[in-house]
Amino acid sequence: MPPAAPSLGTDPVKPGKPEVKPYLSEADAPDPLRILSPPPAHHSPLDNADHAAFNATRSLKGSARWNLAANDVSEGSLAVLENFACVLGTRLDQARVPATLNLLDRARLDLARATRIPKVHYRRLRPFVGNEAPICVQRTQTLTDSFSYPSGHATQGWAYALIMAALVPEKTTDILARGRTYGESRIVCGVHYPSDVMAGRTNGAAVFAALLGDSTFRNDMDKARAELRAALAGGGTAPDRALCARESEALKEPPIEF
């Protein structure tokens, strides 16, 4: 069965580069099976609401919100810089922010571990399984087998938003709003239920809280904060206006009701 998250034995972002290690040891990592509630029971009110949300959001195909969800499929440290480019007002050159990328790359492995454990334990099927409703990505066996609860994108997206908000505190509100929308894109996309995304936020926040207790992570945060401050002050390539306009339009829409 394909893994639900990146392997801890390889660098998922820069293949061929020296292996990136997670910050947290097994002993220090939070236990998602104790932190997260189980997914909604089959045909329970919450499960019915999840299915209703999937059915309702299929009508968004072709909308600005759907296009943003398709754009949000990308994940990882480089993707997060692109995802927050409109919020930051700058497309950051990866060559200028190596400490930031290292921080996000290492944290991603901690997030991958926290996601994989409950996915494999609960084995909840994704909402598109067993129907032909449109989704914003290609249907593959790998995607089908990676399970739905919790959302890995929402876990990573919310944790990355918390990290970025701590690094650029003057942009906290905009960053966290974008992080919320990034997770909700998985509902729009049709690959996760609302409860998967909510659990992903909790999961990401739990990992971020544990990371704050790690001295190496805190030191790397300080390096990244100074690096980002210099990079943003020095200017950079302006983000794509059309993309930012579409993002702004999508963000004006009411949050998806859970």
Give pLDDT, residue 17.
60
The rounded distance, in Å, linking the Cα atoms of 219 and 83 is 24
Catalytic residues: 153, 186, 192, 196
- State residue 186's pLDDT score: 96
> Torsion-angle region of residue 123: left (phi > 0), alpha (psi -120 to 50) or beta?
left
Closest CA to 162 of 194, 198, 115, 202: 202
Averaged over 230-247, what is the pLDDT?
A: 85
* pLDDT value for 258: 55
* 36-50, 89-103, 119-133, 237-251: the lowest-pLDDT one: 237-251
Q: How far apart are CA 51 and CA 12, in angstroms?
A: 32
**pLDDT score, position 48:** 97
Q: How confident is the model at residue 118 (pLDDT cuts 50, 70, 90)?
A: very high
Q: pLDDT tens, 181-190?
A: 999 999 999 9
- In this prediction, residue 12 carries a pLDDT of 41
Rounded to the nearest angstrom, the gap between the alpha carbon of residue 187 and the centroid of all alpha carbons in its chain is 12
pLDDT of residue 108: 97
Name which residue leads in pLDDT, 101 or 2. 101
DSSP assignment string, the chain:
---SS--TTS-SSSTTSPPPPPSS-TTTS--HHHHSPPPPPTTSHHHHHHHHHHHHHGGGTTSHHHHHHHHTT--SHHHHHHHTHHHHTSB--GGG-HHHHHHHHHHHHHHHHHHHHHHHHH-PPPTTTTS----SS---HHHHHT--SS-HHHHHHHHHHHHHHHHSGGGHHHHHHHHHHHHHHHHHHTSS-HHHHHHHHHHHHHHHHHHHT-HHHHHHHHHHHHHHHHHHHT--BPPPHHHHHHHHHHHHSPPPP-
Q: Which CATH architecture group holds 52-251?
A: Up-down Bundle (1.20)
Per-residue pLDDT, 18: 61
**Which of the residue ranges 3-7, 80-84, 210-214, 232-236 has the most confident prediction, judged by mean pLDDT?**
210-214
Q: What is the mean pLDDT of residues 159-164?
A: 98
d(CA 17, CA 20): 8
Rounded to an integer, what distance in angstroms lies between the CA atom of residue 153 and that of residue 141?
A: 18
